[in-house]
Amino acid sequence: MSAPAGSPHPAASARIPPKLGGAAASGAAAPAGPGPGPHQQNGPAQNQMQVPSGYGLYPQNYVAPSGHYSQGPGKMTSLPLDSQSGDYYPGLYTVPTQNVVTPNTASQQPGAQQMYGRVPPAPHVVGSALGSFQGAMSSASHLQTSASQPYSSFVNHYNSPAMYSVNSSVASQGLPSTCGHYALSAVSNASYPGVPYPSLPAGDPYRQQMLTSQSALTVRPIRESSLSGQNTAVSHPSPLPPPPSQQYQQQQSLSGYSTFSWSAPGLPSTQDNLIRNHTSQVAANNNPTNTVADSLSRSVMQNVQPPKSSPVVSTVLSGASSTRPPPAAPRPAEPAASVAQPPELSQQKGMQYGEYVNNQASSAPTPLSSTSDDEEEEEEDEEAGVDSSSTTSSASPMPNSYDALEGGSYPDMLSSSASSPAPEPAPEPDPAPAPAPAVPQPSKLAKPFGYGYPALQPGYQNATTPLNSGVPPSSPGYSGFQQYAQQYPGMNQLSSSLGGLSLQSSSQPESLRPVNLTQERNILPMTPVWAPVPNLNSDLRKLNCSPDSFRCTLTNIPQTQALLNKAKLPLGLLLHPFRDLTQLPVITSNTIVRCRSCRTYINPFVSFIDQRRWKCNLCYRINDVPEEFMYNPITRSYGEPHKRPEVQNSTVEFIASSDYMLRPPQPAVYLFVLDVSHNAVEAGYLTVLCQSLLENLDKLPGDSRTRIGFMTFDSTIHFYNLQEGLSQPQMLIVSDIDDVFLPTPDSLLVNLHESKELIKDLLNALPNMFTNTRETHSALGPALQAAFKLMSPTGGRVSVFQTQLPSLGAGLLQSREDPNQRSSTKVVQHLGPATDFYKKLALDCSGQQTAVDLFLLSSQYSDLASLACISRYSAGCIYYYPSFHYMHNPSQAEKLQKDLKRYLTRKIGFEAVMRIRCTKGLSMHTFHGNFFVRSTDLLSLANINPDAGFAVQLSIEESLTDTSLVCFQTALLYTSSKGERRIRVHTLCLPVVSSLADVYAGVDVQAAICLLANMAVDRSISSSLSDARDALVNAVVDSLSAYGSTVSNLQHSALIAPSSLKLFPLYVLALLKQKAFRTGTSTRLDDRVYAMCQIKCQPLVHLMKMIHPNLYRIDRLTDEGAIHVNDRVVPQPPLQKLSAEKLTREGAFLMDCGSAFYIWIGKSCDNNFIEDVLGYPNFASIPQKMTHLPELDTLSSERARSFITWLRDNRPLSPVLHVVKDESPAKTEFFQHLIEDRTEAAFSYYEFLLHVQQQICK
C-alpha cells in the first residue's frame, strides 16, 4: 500500500484486533494459504490520507515519483529542448513527434539545455484508454528510428500542419494536383443538373459565399489534400511508401520528417516553402483515389438530405447525391465567413479556415472508420502530432513513449514503463540524432527557434493544432462533418443548424422559419441532426469548442433573465469533458497563465489590450502577460502572445505543476469486489469477468506503480493475498461483517507487474472456486466498507459486481417493488434510495478519491435506486444487465464481455476535480451527472472516464447588456494513469442577444432535450413521476406558446414552431415514452431507475440515441452516398421516422437504440435478402433468437455488416443485436420504440401535437 510515489499513507495497521478468529483459515480454494496473518484492522488512521485533490499548493515535501520526474542533469541533457520547453503534445494518444532536425537543432540543443533549468516531467504520458493499442503501437514505432509505416503516415499528416504555417503564397504553391481534384469536383457540381446555382437570387448572401468559396478554393484544396493524405494513412493499414524526398530527409537525420512537416525552424522561409511543396506533393501522391473518395463520400453523406433548404444547400446536396464531387460543398460555407474581408485577408482566413475544416474532416474519418478504434487512433494520433508543433529543437523519443504510456493499455508499453513511466531510455539515446519521433510537432512555424528567446523556450513544445478538438470517435461518422454542415446552412435541412449563420444574413434566419407542426408530415430530417453553430464571427467560430465536448441549449444567450423567462426554454450546458479526442494540444509551461482574480485559464476569447496585457473574458480583469508567454514556441517569435497555442485552441491540456497537487499523484489502483453467492455463481458472470480481465490485464491503464486487488463476498468477505513471493494466492476470510477489518492490509492491493503471475492464477481459479457454494446471502454493505478501507490510503477505482439484493449487514435492502404496480399510470414509488448508507459511503469514498463502479447483473429486483447512490456520488458509473445468465442469455454475456473490454481499457483519470466558470452575470445552479458537488462551481470526481457526461443548469443573475459575448470554461484537473497531473480546458464562446426571436433562432434542440431529461429525472425523484411528465409537456406547451405570442401573424388554428424547435415536441414525446418516464407500460422498477441513471450520466450523443432511436431500412442498402472507412464501404441509408407506417412487410429495418440494435424482418421480406444477409432460406426458417449476422460472402451481407459495425463503433456500451421477426413475441420490444405511434397508454405524435395545441389555446 505504500505508494512508491511517497503517498503519505499512515501505517495501515492501526491496531491488531484482539481476535484473530474473525479471519477464518484460508478456504479450500487457497490450499496453500497459511492461516491469515495477524489481522489488523485498519483504523481510522488510514483515513488520514484524505486530501481531496483540489487546486492547492502542494507543499515542498512533495516527492516526485521516481520514474516520472526525471530531473537528473543527465536526463536534462538527454532531453533536449523538449522536456524543458514543455511538451506540447498534440494527440491524446499518439503524439507524433517530429523532431525538427534542422541544422540548427543540433547546434542549439546544448544551449537550449543550459538555458532551461528545470526539466519538466519528461515522460508526459498522454493517457488514452482507447488509444492504448494504437498509442502503444505508434509509440513503439516512434521509438524505432527507422522509417516505418507510421512515419509515412506522418508525412501525410505533416502536410496539414505545414499548411497551417504556410503563408498564403505557399498555399498557392500548394498542391496543384489536389487543386485539380477539387476543381474537378467543382466542375461536376456545376454540371449537375440539380445544381441550384442559377436559382440563387442575386442578392443572396449565399451566393456570394459560393463565389468566394471558389476563389478560396485554391487555398482550401491544399488543406483538403492534406486531409486526404491523412485519410489515406488511416484507411490503409499498409504503410504508405514514403516519398523519396521523405526518405531522403530521414536519412539525413532521423528526424527527417520533422523537417518536413514544419518548416524546419532554422530554415529560411524559402526552404519552408519547398518543404511544404514536398509534403503537399507527397500528400497528393499518397492520396489514392480512395482517399478522395473518402472525403467525397463524407460530404455526400451530409448532403443526403432532402432538397428543402436554401438553394445553396440544395446545390450541395445535388452534388453529393450525384456521386459526389462534394468537396465543393463544404467550401461554400467557409467562404461565407470570410466574405466580408478583403481579398488578402480572406485568403488567409480561407487557409486557416480550411485548415480548420480539414482537421475536422480528418478527424471525421475516425469516427467513421473506426471499427477498431485503436488502429485508427494511432493514425489519428499521428495526425494530431502533426498539427502540434514543438518548440524543442531536439526531438526526443520521449513524447512517443509518453503517448504510448498514456495509452497505457498496451502491454509492451507497460513493461517498458515499469521502471519509470517516462521512457527514460528514449531520451538519452536521442540527443545526438534528435530522433524525430520524440518531439511532437516541432514547431509549426518554427523560425526563430533557438535564437529568439531561449529563456522563454522552456515553455513549450506544443503541438498546436490549429483546430479545435478532433472529432470524437464516439460520434458516428457525421461528427466530422458537423462543422461543414453547420457552416453551410443549406446542407442540413435542419434549420436548427442554420441558426447562427443565417442570422448573419439579412434575410430571415432559416432557424426561425415558422413550421406548422400539424401540417408537416415528415418532421424528421433524413440525416442526423447537427448542433447549431453559434452566430459568431468567423474568427471566433473557428476557434470555438467542438459541440461534441461542450454544448449550450441556447446558442444565443438571452441578455436578461426576463428574456430567458419569456422564451420558456431551459438554459444550460451539456458537457463531455473527458471525451476521447483525436487531437489535443498539450502544453507544458512553467507558468500556466490564468486570470488573477477569477483564475480563468487563458483562452482564445480573451482580448489582448496591448502586447503586455490581456483582459479576462469572464471577469474582465486586466492581467499582465508573463514574460514566458510572450514567446511563441510555434512561430518561434517573440511578442506574439496571441499566437500561442493556448490562445489558438479552445480545447487544450496543460501539464500541471506541483502547485496543482495536494499530494503526489496517485498510482492507478483497481479493486474488484465480486459477489460469489449462489445466485452469482449460478449466473456465471465470473467466467466472463475473469476471462476478460485476463485478456486485458496488460492493457489496464497505468504505469509501473499500478496496483490491483480482489475481494469476494457472500455472507462473509474474502480477501486475497497476492503478495509477490507467495507460491499461490492466499484467501483470507473475514466473517465478522459487523465490524469489518482488513487482514494484512499491506498485501491485498499488490503491484500489478510484480504479482502478475499470482493474479493470473487467481483469475484462472476464481470461476471454479465457488461452484458448490450454498451461501445465498449477500453482504454488499460490509464488503463495500472493507473496500473503502482498503482504498482510502490511495484512492482509485472499485468495481463492484452484484447479482442480488444485499441481504446482510449494513446497507441491507428490502424488496420494494410491487410487480402489480409496474404498469400503473398513477404513482411510481421508490425511485429514491431506501437508505442513506450507500450515499454516505459514497461521500466517504469521494473524499478519499475512490470511485465505485457498479455492475448489477440480476434477474430480480435489486433496488438499483438505492445501490446506484454508491456510484452516483463517488463519480462512478453504473452498468446493468437484467436477467444475466451466461448460458440462457448469451447476448447479455456477450454484451458484458464487450463492455468490460471497453471498461478495462479506456482512459481513466484519478483524483479529478472539474470547475466550470462562466462570464460574470451568469451563474450555475444545478449540476447533473455522477459526482459530488464540492462548491458552487466545483465538482469532485474521484475518477473521470471518457464516457461520462455532465449537464449544468444556468441562470442569468445580472443583465448582460454590456457584453456581446459570454464564455464558459470547464477545467478538468486530473491525474492521468501515468501519474501525471493534467488540466484539460474547454472554452465555449456564445453571443448575447436581446431579442426573443434571436433566442429562438439559436436553440439547440438536442441539448435542450437532454437538459430537460436530466431535470425531469431530478423532479421525478424529488417529487413524483407524474410531476416530471407534466413538466416535460409543459416545457413544450410553454415554449411553443411563448413563440406563438411573438409571431404576430399567427393563425390560432395552427401549431407553429420555429424551425429550430420543430423537433422539440417529437423529442419530448420520445422522452415521455422512454423507459425512465413512461407510464402505463409494464416497466420494472430497476429498468426505470437504470434508464434514469443513464440519462444523468450519458453524454449527449449517446443519450439522444436512447431517447430517439434511429431507424434505417436495410434491405436495399446501396452504395449511394456511402462512406469509406478502413477500406470498407459503409452505406448511409436515410433515417426513417419512428412509425409503423414506415415499416413495410417487404422490408427489413434496423433500429439503433444506442444500447441495442433491432433488425425487424417483415413477413414478405425478400428471400434474397434473408438468404444473403441472415443466411436462412426464407422467412419461416429464421430462428426466434438471433443475435449475430453471419459473415456471408455476399454484397448485401457485407453492406449490412459494415453498416452495423460502423454504428457500433465507439459506443461506451456495446449494443446487442436482436433480429426480430414480424409476429414473433419479441417484436413488442421493437415496436415500443416506435414513438410516433399510438400505444394503449400514450399518445401518437399527432395526438400529442393536438394535445399541446389544446393546452396552448387554453
Partner 1 sequence: MAFTFAAFCYMLSLVLCAALIFFAIWHIIAFDELRTDFKSPIDQCNPVHALVLPEYSIHSLFCIMFLCAQEWLTLGLNVPLLFYHFWRYFHCPADSSELAYDPPVVMNADTLSYCQKEAWCKLAFYLLSFFYYLYWLRFRLGTRPVSSLHPSAQPGVW
Binding interface with partner 1 (CB under 8 A):
52, 832-836, 839, 843, 847, 873, 923-927, 932-936, 938, 940, 955
Minimum gap (Å) between residue 824 Cβ and partner 1: 23
Minimum gap (Å) between residue 935 Cβ and partner 1: 4
Contact 595, 623 (CB under 8 A): yes
CA gap 950, 1248 in Å, rounded: 29
Query: Cell 485478456 sits at which residue?
Result: 695
Residue number, 324 or 915, with CB nearest to partner 1: 915
Residue number, 1003 or 1093, with CB nearest to partner 1: 1093
Residue number, 597 or 955, with CB nearest to partner 1: 955
Residue number, 912 or 924, with CB nearest to partner 1: 924
- The alpha-helical segments, DSSP class H, found in 726-779 are 756-769
Residue number, 873 or 1064, with CB nearest to partner 1: 873
CA gap 1210, 1201 in Å, rounded: 16
For the chain, the residue count is 1258
Dihedral angle over CA of 271, 275, 278, 279, nearest 10: -170
Residue number, 391 or 874, with CB nearest to partner 1: 874
Minimum gap (Å) between residue 860 Cβ and partner 1: 23
Contact 1212, 947 (CB under 8 A): yes
Minimum gap (Å) between residue 1085 Cβ and partner 1: 17
- Specify which residues 573 forms β-bridges with: 552, 952
Minimum gap (Å) between residue 839 Cβ and partner 1: 7
CA gap 1164, 93 in Å, rounded: 49
Residues 6+ apart with CB under 8 A from 304: 317, 320, 321, 526, 527, 1121, 1132, 1134
Give the angle 725-978-753 at the CA atoms, nearest 5°.
15
CA gap 296, 288 in Å, rounded: 13
Residue number, 143 or 1012, with CB nearest to partner 1: 1012
- The enclosing H or E element of 870 equals helix 864-872
Residue number, 640 or 937, with CB nearest to partner 1: 937
C-alpha cell of 1050? 399567427
Give the residue among 287, 310, 364, 322 at the shortest CA–CA distance from 186.
322
Residues 6+ apart with CB under 8 A from 1074: 1013, 1091, 1095, 1106, 1107
Minimum gap (Å) between residue 844 Cβ and partner 1: 8
User: Residue 333 in 3-state DSSP?
Assistant: helix
Query: Cell 470461476 sits at which residue?
Result: 767
Give the angle 1177-1182-1186 at the CA atoms, nearest 5°.
130
Give the residue among 964, 960, 982 at the shortest CA–CA distance from 973.
982
- The alpha-helical segments, DSSP class H, found in 425-524 are 478-487, 495-504
Residue number, 706 or 953, with CB nearest to partner 1: 953
CA gap 937, 929 in Å, rounded: 14
- The alpha-helical segments, DSSP class H, found in 888-980 are 890-905
**Cα(first)–Cα(last) distance of the chain, in Å?**
67
Contact 831, 1091 (CB under 8 A): no
Residues 6+ apart with CB under 8 A from 25: 33, 35, 36, 733
Residue number, 430 or 844, with CB nearest to partner 1: 844
Residue number, 123 or 833, with CB nearest to partner 1: 833
User: Residue 901 in 3-state DSSP?
Assistant: helix
CA gap 1253, 1246 in Å, rounded: 10
Minimum gap (Å) between residue 916 Cβ and partner 1: 12
- Specify which residues 802 forms β-bridges with: 856
Minimum gap (Å) between residue 809 Cβ and partner 1: 16
CB-hemisphere CA count at 13 Å for 786? 39
Minimum gap (Å) between residue 749 Cβ and partner 1: 25
Contact 646, 631 (CB under 8 A): no
Minimum gap (Å) between residue 822 Cβ and partner 1: 23
Contact 1021, 828 (CB under 8 A): no
Minimum gap (Å) between residue 1013 Cβ and partner 1: 18
CA gap 1043, 1040 in Å, rounded: 5
CA gap 292, 280 in Å, rounded: 15
CA gap 912, 918 in Å, rounded: 20
User: Residue 505 in 3-state DSSP?
Assistant: coil
Residue number, 822 or 839, with CB nearest to partner 1: 839
Minimum gap (Å) between residue 938 Cβ and partner 1: 7
Minimum gap (Å) between residue 952 Cβ and partner 1: 10
Give the residue among 1114, 1132, 1111 at the shortest CA–CA distance from 1189.
1114
Residue number, 932 or 1112, with CB nearest to partner 1: 932
Residue number, 69 or 873, with CB nearest to partner 1: 873
Minimum gap (Å) between residue 663 Cβ and partner 1: 16
Minimum gap (Å) between residue 940 Cβ and partner 1: 8
Radius of gyration of the chain (CA): 29
Residue number, 165 or 866, with CB nearest to partner 1: 866
Minimum gap (Å) between residue 559 Cβ and partner 1: 20
Q: Residue 512 phi/psi, 5° resolution?
A: -100, -5
Minimum gap (Å) between residue 283 Cβ and partner 1: 50
Residue number, 818 or 836, with CB nearest to partner 1: 836
Residue number, 51 or 671, with CB nearest to partner 1: 51
Query: Cell 460520434 sits at which residue?
Result: 475
CA distances from 584 to 326, 528, 587, 909, 1148 (A): 28, 26, 10, 16, 41
Residue number, 886 or 927, with CB nearest to partner 1: 927
Minimum gap (Å) between residue 419 Cβ and partner 1: 37
